Amino acid sequence: MGPQGPDKEGVMKKKWLIGNWKMHGNLASNKALIEGIRAELPEPDPRAELVVCPAFPYLYQLKDLTAGTGIYVGAQNASDHLQGAYTGETSPLMIKELGGSFTIIGHSERRQYQGENDGLMGRKSLAAIDAGLIPVICVGETAEERDSGRTHEVLARQLDAAFGYIRTAHDKIILAYEPRWAIGTGIAATPEIVQAEHEFLRQRIAIRDKEFAARLPIIYGGSVKAANAISLFSMPDVDGGLIGSAALNATEFVAIYRELLQTIPADEAA
């Protein structure tokens, strides 16, 4: 694993815990949060990677705070362009230069509040890959879509839009299933729902590339906390979690990480 992030094999084999700090934090609280994580967890286990995604202005601070700690840094969004006259946008190349190895793409809050659509998610994923970042591509249905029996239709549409831009065999990607109704509500999807949708997503990707689909990390996000983490992470197609509010509390975040470690068979190679 190099300083620019995990290598391809590393990405594809590991478990992942990714903290989305959203529009929270400041210089002092970010420092306290990383110090808190490190106090509870001096070194992440090589079988499960830890990533924190601060707001853009703090990327460079986090590069400093996480240097030599084994914790990776990611952004919460990135432009679909590498450079140019795009006022207010942030290039994935800039994220990379400021120490980011990852970027969340297509988070439902961006779809909801910034009007991002499937096509943009695909273009952003490709730009991130071209800049050397690993996109954490988010898909997920709303409550209304689930209630009207359209979950698979929606997931397929979102997935196909993103993967239409991606050369699967060559690219490093993490897929996140984040049902919108579970994000920030305190009510996580049941392990059975999560497993069923992860399986659906994996099968859909297998139509394009079977071997890639088998190795692709698919993580779950939506009201994960220490109390429900093990039941979610124990599901066979769940490779970790994308954590929102619980990632802002060092003790809770590390407790979730420890639950994730418990789901890894002891004989699994690091």
Q: What is the dihedral of CA 153, 231, 174, 7, to 10 degrees?
A: -160
Question: Is 183 a residue that touches ligand PEP (CB under 6 A)?
Answer: yes
Distance in angstroms (rounded) separating the CA atoms of residues 106 and 199: 20
Ramachandran angles phi, psi of 71, nearest 5° = -95, 135
Question: Is 139 a residue that touches ligand PEP (CB under 6 A)?
Answer: no
Residues 4-43 that bind ligand PEP (CB under 6 A): 20
Question: Is 92 a residue that touches ligand PEP (CB under 6 A)?
Answer: no
Question: Is 244 a residue that touches ligand PEP (CB under 6 A)?
Answer: yes
Provide the CA 63 distance to its chain's centre, in angstroms.
Answer: 18
- Contacts with ligand PEP by CB under 6 A: the residue count is 13
The nearer residue to ligand PEP, 80 or 178, going by C-beta atoms, is: 178
The nearer residue to ligand PEP, 129 or 232, going by C-beta atoms, is: 232
49 in helix, strand or coil? strand
Q: What is the DSSP letter of 170?
A: G
Distance in angstroms (rounded) separating the CA atoms of residues 25 and 195: 33
Q: How far is the CB of 113 from ligand PEP (least distance, A)?
A: 12
Contact call for residues 101 and 141 (beta carbons, < 8 A): no
Residues 216-235 that bind ligand PEP (CB under 6 A): 221-224
Binding residue (CB under 6 A) for ligand PEP from 141, 145, 171, 178: 178
Residues forming the site for ligand PEP (CB under 6 A): 20, 178, 183-184, 221-224, 242-246
